[in-house]
A and B are shown apart, each in its own frame.
Chain A
Amino acid sequence: METVSTVSFPSAETGNRTRPPFQFPRSSFVYARESVVKVILLLCALVSVFTTLGIVVVLSVQAYEFFQEVPIWDFLTDTQWTPLFSDQHFGILPLLTGTLLTSFIALLVSVPLGLIIAVFLSEYAAAPVRKTVKPFLEVLAGIPTIVYGYFALITVTPLLQHFFPTLSGFNALSPGIVMGIMILPLVTSLSEDALRSVPSGLREGGYALGASKLQVSLSIVFPSAFSGIIASIILALSRAVGETMIVAIAAGQLPQITLNPMNPVATMTTYIVSVSQGDTPHGTLAYNTIFAVAIALFIFTFILNIISFRIRKKFLAVGGD
């Protein structure tokens, strides 16, 4: 038994004695290069981590200084935002309602339209149609927001004034609508992905029971992709909340608590723009407001992103099988 095994399979020891073990040429150099590459890759990855941390730290420190002078309670509950006036008020609510109003209008435009387009592309459109329509939609996402801003101010607002003569030159409605068009590709594209990832077996199951295409799309595919669709909407909302240029140009930069879309409003982002571009001296309380607003905005979008991320993860867990 032993002789047989040594004859047919020489042990490693015997093999080493008869011929030297195989050596990879310049192996130490290869190993060194490997580890250098590893470190470089790690550093690249860390850039994004440190950038995020840096932003959070800078915002927090500056905002801390601000909140030393303005109580956080006033910041959250005061109904006026007048840091640049002699009678200073630091209530975030007007900026918050402005942000919510324009974002809400954007969602009113982009969600129904985006979902209809997504269902059409995923369930109805033939391949050539989808291949033509999708690039056009994605072009929408590539248009600079400043172009959208002027489009809102110069084209959409006058158009809307035909229908609503009381609409002021600067208002929440027009930039809201244009912002809705801007985030349309986001809603469409992510929702379409969610719809298309619904296993085709479910569709077949519906058709086999005699369901029509519309019934299958609405009562099987759509609910199956629901969490993915919700995630896309939240992501689009967080994009709208953070959008700056369109509202800065067309919304009027007037901080007031209003739910009337005909009125001019200021959003959190537009306030930051106006102060950082204006002649407010650095280091003053008025200047530090932008950090307080920024961190509020940061927390707001951060929470939206986390919710969206959670839902998407859940959706992947369900839709993956």
Chain B
Amino acid sequence: MYKVETRDVNLFYGNTHALKNVTMGILEYQVVAMIGPSGCGKSTYLRLFNRMNDMIDGVRIEGEVLLSGKDIYNGGTRVEEIRKKVGMVFQKPNPFPKTIFENVAYGLRINGISNKKFIEETVERSLKQAALWDEVKDELKKSALALSGGQQQRLCIARALAVEPSVILMDEPASALDPISSAKIEELIWELKKKYTIIIVTHNMQQAARVSDKTAFFYLGELIEFNDTKELFMNPKHERTQNYITGRFG
């Protein structure tokens, strides 16, 4: 069974048909990269899984989006519950203007958890998982805004991990970072795939090739090709895919 899956999903922004009949399934503990030119619908597709598209006025979604086999749009599950299972990391690091500790603890606190020991343990574990603990363990009371961009992004990953999701969505998580921070994020993705299913949108094809097991190529709202990463880059089935990965357009 797929961990997340879409069946014939169509998405409209007003009159714009942003996703066209997208059917795709992602297995647990896989890293799947979404590539494609700007405006191809890959970010929109990513945001189906934690229903972040819902907040946009005039959006209409058809088809089925399944998380562990359950329809997350019509299954009667509250949207907040879905978002606790599906974490998200954004393009621009967006730490809250709180301390480092409180940033990671936020997801627990809004769920009404107040057990101090449990929160402290979770914060430590999450920061360790995000490979940030050693850098910040002595300054947990400092403002998160004082961290560097790369540290902020890993803090945002730790924050997402603290609520123990099973799927992590990453929307160009390294595109605003310098090469070294970017490499750290990629290493981290390798570590995290042992425990999480990860879907990552990226503009960087080398990055897609390095971190992902499977790659999906989107073009104008359609899923053109979805295959093992190696296969897709070495031996693309479609001309459009080939043109895109060889840099002939996009």
**Which of A's residues lie within 8 Å of B, judged by CB?**
199, 201-202, 204-212, 215, 219-220, 223-224, 318
Contact = CB atoms under 8 A, between A and B. Distances in A.
Nearest to A220: B96
Contacts of B145: 318
Interface of B: 50, 52, 55, 80-84, 87-88, 90, 92, 94-98, 106-107, 109-111, 145, 156, 159-160, 163
Contact of A205 (B80, B84, B94, B111): B94
B97 A209 contact: no
Given A224-B97, A318-B97, A209 B107 contact: yes
Contacts of A223: 97-98
B83 A204 contact: no
Given A208-B83, A209-B87, A209-B160, A199 B107 contact: no
Contacts of B94: 199, 201-202, 204-205
B96 A202 contact: yes
A209 B106 contact: yes
A207 B159 contact: no
Contacts of A215: 110
B178 to A, nearest CB: 17
A204 B52 contact: yes
A127 B98 CA distance: 30
Contact of A211 (B52, B80, B95, B97): B80
Given A201-B92, A215-B110, A219-B110, A208 B97 contact: no
Contacts of A219: 106, 109-110
A202 B156 CA distance: 11
23 contacts: A199-B94, A201-B94, A202-B94, A202-B97, A204-B88, A206-B106, A207-B52, A207-B55, A207-B83, A208-B50, A208-B90, A209-B87, A209-B106, A209-B160, A209-B163, A210-B80, A210-B107, A210-B163, A212-B110, A215-B110, A219-B106, A223-B97, A224-B97
A211 B55 CA distance: 13
A209 B81 CA distance: 9
Contact of B87 (A206, A208, A212, A318): A208
A174 B106 CA distance: 43
Contacts of A318: 97, 145
A209 B96 CA distance: 12
Nearest to A225: B97
Given A202-B96, A220-B96, A208 B52 contact: yes
